[in-house]
Amino acid sequence: MKIKKQHRKKKYLHKLNRKRMHIKQKSTGEVNCKPIKDAWDFKKSSLRNMKEMGLANDPNKVIKIPNFKQEKVRQAKKIVNQEDSDSDIEEEEVLPVPKKEVVEILEKEARARRARKFMLPKPQVEFITYLLDKYGHDYKAMAKDKKNYYQETWKQLRAKVKTFMGIPKQYSEYLASKGLLDKEEDEEELKKLAKALIMDDDD
């Protein structure tokens, strides 16, 4: 007796836009990198585009990872054929990718200094500013404070204060609220001030 195949009943889903779904599935995504996006030619293949920009389409072909098995096979063939060490099997040389304008722009962007986006959470800022207001830079007194719930050592609290002082945006707001800094003061001056305070604490 043959077992009948059970076919799931196909349902037409009205909420799905088949055309839009097909386009989304076919799409490989947008290029977010502006230099590559500007230089991209949609009439050419991705391989050709990358090659003309001076970029590698497949990094594994440009930077080869040594293969233990292939190396042992090469050595075995060398012993079997009784070849001299000078007449090794020629390996395919990968030519360096020529540097183009896009590569130079990308390298320049990679070397450029980025703004620090790290920010401390609000509760932590409130705790640090509370300690600074009450004890100044007396870290040993901070460690004995009743609000030090996690029993952090004076060195741990000092590290937290230094981190806070190293964030110009949050530290400038604190200094401005105390009337110690003009809001329009240059960020570089603030960094120098924070560095000087940190150096004083180390002493």
> What is residue 196's predicted lDDT score, i.e. its pLDDT?
59
Question: pTM of this prediction?
Answer: 0.47
Task: Tell me the H-state helices in the chain.
Answer: 18-26, 34-39, 46-53, 59-62, 68-80, 101-111, 122-135, 139-143, 154-165, 168-177, 187-202
Contact 185, 172 (CB under 8 A): yes
110 phi-psi bin (left φ>0, alpha ψ -120 to 50, beta other): alpha
- Determine the Cα–Cα distance for residues 168 and 170; give it in Å rounded to an integer: 6
Where does the pLDDT of residue 101 fall: very low under 50, low under 70, confident under 90, or very high at 90 and above?
A: confident
Residue 120 and residue 118: Cα distance in Å, rounded? 7
Q: Residue 188 phi/psi, 5° resolution?
A: -65, -40
pLDDT band at 87 (very low <50, low <70, confident <90, very high): very low
Q: Quickly count: other Cβ atoms within 10 Å of residue 139's Cβ.
A: 20
Nearest to 106 by CA among 171, 32, 42, 159: 32
Tens of pLDDT, residues 133-177:
999 999 999 999 999 999 999 999 999 999 999 888 898 889 888
11: left (phi over 0), alpha (psi -120 to 50) or beta: beta
The CA-CA-CA angle for residues 12, 14, 16, to 5°, reads 100
pLDDT for position 94? 47
